[in-house]
Amino acid sequence: MSDFLDTLTPDAGPDGASDVPRADNATVWRRSDAQGLVTLWLDCPDTGTNVISETVLRELDGILDALGGAKALVIRSAKRSGFAAGADIDGFAGLDRDSALGLIRQGHAVLDRLAALDIPTIAVIHGNTLGGGLELALACDRRIGIDGVKAGFPEIQLGLHPGLGGTFRLTRLIDPVEAMQAMLTGKSIHDRKAKRLGLVDALVPERHVDAAIEAAIKGSLPERDTDFKAGAMRLSPARSLAATRMRQEAAKSVPRRHYPAPYALIDLWHDHGGDADAMQKAEIDSFATLLESATAQALIRVFFLRRALKSGAKGASDIAHVHVIGAGAMGAEIAAWAALRGKRVTLEDVKLDPLGKAVQRASKIYERRHLSGIDARDALDRMMPDPDGLGRARADLVIEAAPERPELKEKIYSSLVDAMKPGAILATNTSSLRLETLFDAAPDPALFAGLHFFNPVSRMPLVELVSHDGVAAETLDRLAALVGELDRLPVRVRDYPGFLVNRVLAPYMLEAMQMLDEGMEKERIDRTALAFGMPMGPVALADQVGLDICLEVARSLGKGLDRPVAEVPDWLVQKVDNGETGRKSGKGLYDYDKESPPETASDDDEEARIVDRLILPMCNAAVECLREGVVSDADQLDAAMIFGTGWAPFRGGPMQYARLRGDVPDALRALEGQHGPRFAPDPGWDGFA
């Protein structure tokens, strides 16, 4: 054994793996042999990210046949991005139940073979190690994590649970309750927590990987603790109690009828958590059942919508320095996020107090994102308060995030005419003002566009990239690339009242105002929307956005659209005039010192007539935007609403909902007869299929 261990030599890591030859007859695996130590490098071609596909598992099966006299097996990734991002979703899309069962059983057989090898098997994981990638690692005897690794099972976001052994292997390896929470939330387990839980046996920097592999082969890594709690959870009474609590917590977030996967996972563990073999068989059947559910099919479609948006952010922006004008909530979030993503940022405001609060906000964002102390410090170093506006002259991009007053924005633009360097882009984060009213004041209209982030920037992935008649195509391409570099999703829209998202979302809130004016209880309205699947009721959302912003958007739509919109009640104007602007002021439609908006709803709270009044005007506005060419197609529109507002993703977006429902124009005509012309079906319905 000592001669074998002496063959371990420092490896260059993923950067050096491309020189390792492909395994025999393999397209995705590279193989190196050193006197009995076999190292397999996963390297899916023509992509920067590994996924666990049928090809990956089939070729691994063949390699396991050819291990010969190997004394140990190490599995690694050749990709900088991480070990593997999950299963190949393309391979599952559209499968019927029988086909899915066959594919899953084949995958289980391969990973079972890996788990049963009588030689030490070690997975070295780094970066994103998710879904099927983590299941591959769990089938090995030991896991060595490289600093910064993030491991998890995001399948719940697709309406599924792990299907290649993750449910029974993770609940056997670590605290079962922690394992279940990880799978139920879909959140990644970051490196230090992964080590504490025992998910990885060692956590090391890249330069120490070979020493950790040697320790794993020798059997000198610390033994995993099998604590009393893990043992107790294999007994039915304790597991039953924990499962009941999990179902109660799940019900606070998602109803079973809309999102069956969390409940299927809990049932799976509750019924079979004491018997790994039984749980494995039940996992396969449960996964196949979920895969053919309407929710999973809708959420898989959402996955593809995200990927399509992401594909619009290709290329390099050549934007290294971003200058943000306005350190309010939006400006501060934009600055903090850009700095987190590696941009040099200067943040300007006429007052010092907002700049100080912006730094505090950034620190909290970095803490929530689990940045290490060093990474958080570096990000804060890149974000520089700039009360004198010195960054204007050096920035590649200036983002104006000032209050929604045209005269203020035009004043800022005029002050930039001789301040910005040649070729620098000016972008506005306006949410309610038309670009056609602003671009004449910009230093160079060809280098001016809308870059509309959504609040909070650190959590909302969508960015509307707003064009106007005078903007250069290169400007839009550079901004789209920047959005990708910021790990956000760009949707290209043309200048239009409310742009896209606010145009479609505004009727949701404005109709709620009409219902309030009619005397309907705000809690009833919000609970109905929550029961439908919206992430927030329209009354609570109006408070969250700010009643002053809602009022500006309503006025903008009223002036800019040819069709009628819901009238703004006089009492809403009075509230704004009195400073009761919503959550940010402590009082709006809800009084936050005395009450809180409902956050959950039961099936009984969904009232069809209220749903129609809230949701169908959104569908109508969406068809209008398609007819007017505000966005390129229905898929882009659905994606924008899901990623910009959280629009009931299991329903697929407003256009998918309308397509599946089939009677929206007729239902709108009925509402028009009851409530007036604001419900009149848009002419675009005639061409919608």
- Domain residue limits, the chain: 2-295, 314-487, 501-687
Nearest to 198 by CA among 231, 233, 234, 223: 223
DSSP 145: E
**Per-residue pLDDT at 588:** 96
Q: Token pair for residue 319?
A: 């934007």
Length of the chain, please? 689
412-464 pLDDT, tens digit each: 999 999 999 999 999 999 988 899 999 899 999 999 999 999 988 999 999 99
Give the separation between CA 255 and CA 269, rounded to whole angstroms. Answer: 19
Is-same-fold flag (2-295; 314-487)? no
Q: Which residue has the tokens 């929470």?
A: 181
pTM of the model: 0.87
Residue 207 CB-half CA count within 13 A? 0
- Is 489 in contact with 309 (CB distance < 8 Å)? yes
- Is 540 in contact with 590 (CB distance < 8 Å)? yes
Q: CA of 442: how far to CAs of 368, 411, 415, 636, in Å?
A: 36, 10, 10, 29
3-state SS assignment for residue 613: helix
Give the separation between CA 644 and CA 489, rounded to whole angstroms. Answer: 9
DSSP codes of every residue in 307-351 = HHHHHTT-S-----EEEEE--SHHHHHHHHHHHHTT-EEEEE-SS
Give bridge partners of residue 204 from the DSSP assignment. 146
Nearest to 438 by CA among 556, 335, 545, 351: 556
Give bridge partners of residue 74 from the DSSP assignment. 39, 122
**Per-residue pLDDT at 12:** 46
Q: Token pair for residue 456?
A: 């909070």
Nearest to 125 by CA among 68, 76, 67, 61: 76
pLDDT along the chain (689 residues), means of 10: 46 66 91 93 94 96 93 96 91 83 95 97 97 98 96 96 96 94 96 95 96 94 67 76 94 88 97 93 96 93 95 95 96 98 97 96 93 92 97 98 93 96 97 90 96 93 97 98 98 96 95 96 96 94 91 85 87 95 94 92 89 97 97 97 94 94 96 96 89
**Per-residue pLDDT at 689:** 66
The continuous run of DSSP H or E covering 527 comes out as helix 522-532
**Per-residue pLDDT at 358:** 96
Classified by CATH at the fold level, domain 314-487 comes out as: Rossmann fold (3.40.50)
464-489 pLDDT, tens digit each: 999 999 999 999 999 999 999 999 99
Give bridge partners of residue 463 from the DSSP assignment. 453, 490
Domain 2-295, second-level architecture: Alpha-Beta Complex (3.90)
Other C-beta atoms lying within 10 Å of the C-beta of residue 130? 24
Dihedral of CA 175/180/181/185: which sign?
positive
Nearest to 457 by CA among 517, 368, 590, 581: 368
Rg of the chain taking only CA atoms, in angstroms: 27
Give the separation between CA 505 and CA 618, rounded to whole angstroms. Answer: 6
Cα angle vertex 425, ends 419, 431, to 5°? 110
Of the residues 54, 59, 155, 436, only one is catalytic, namely 155
135 is catalytic: yes
178 is catalytic: no
**Per-residue pLDDT at 230:** 62
Instruction: Read off the amino acid at residue 662.
Output: G
**Per-residue pLDDT at 333:** 97
Cα angle vertex 93, ends 89, 97, to 5°? 115
**Per-residue pLDDT at 116:** 97
Q: CA of 137: how far to CAs of 247, 425, 677, in Å?
A: 29, 45, 60
Give per-residue burial for 244-269: e unless 16+ CB within 10 Å, then b.
eebeeebeeebbeebbbbbbbbbebb
Q: Which residue has the tokens 């090391």?
A: 204
**Per-residue pLDDT at 223:** 81
- Is 152 in contact with 179 (CB distance < 8 Å)? no
Strand order in the sheet with 142-146: 29-34, 37-42, 72-77, 121-125, 142-146, 202-204
Classified by CATH at the fold level, domain 501-687 comes out as: N-(1-d-carboxylethyl)-l-norvaline Dehydrogenase; domain 2 (1.10.1040)
563-597 pLDDT, tens digit each: 888 888 999 999 999 999 999 899 999 999 999 99
Q: Which residue has the tokens 């219902």?
A: 515
The continuous run of DSSP H or E covering 378 comes out as helix 373-382
DSSP 84: B
Each as own residue / partner, the long-range contacts of residues 172-176 (CB below 8 Å, 24 or more positions apart, any chain) are 172/276, 173/138, 173/198, 173/199, 173/224, 174/198, 174/199, 174/230, 175/227, 175/229, 175/230, 176/229, 176/230, 176/233, 176/234, 176/239, 176/242, 176/269, 176/273
Task: Look over the chain and give the mean of its residue pLDDT values, rounded to a whole number.
Answer: 93
3-state helix, strand, coil in the chain (%, to 5): 55, 15, 35
Number of helices followed by number of strands (H, E) in the chain: 29, 17
**Per-residue pLDDT at 40:** 97
CA 663 to chain CA centroid, nearest Å: 32
Give the separation between CA 136 and CA 216, rounded to whole angstroms. Answer: 17
Q: Which residue has the tokens 């309205």?
A: 525
Instruction: Read off the amino acid at residue 31.
Output: R
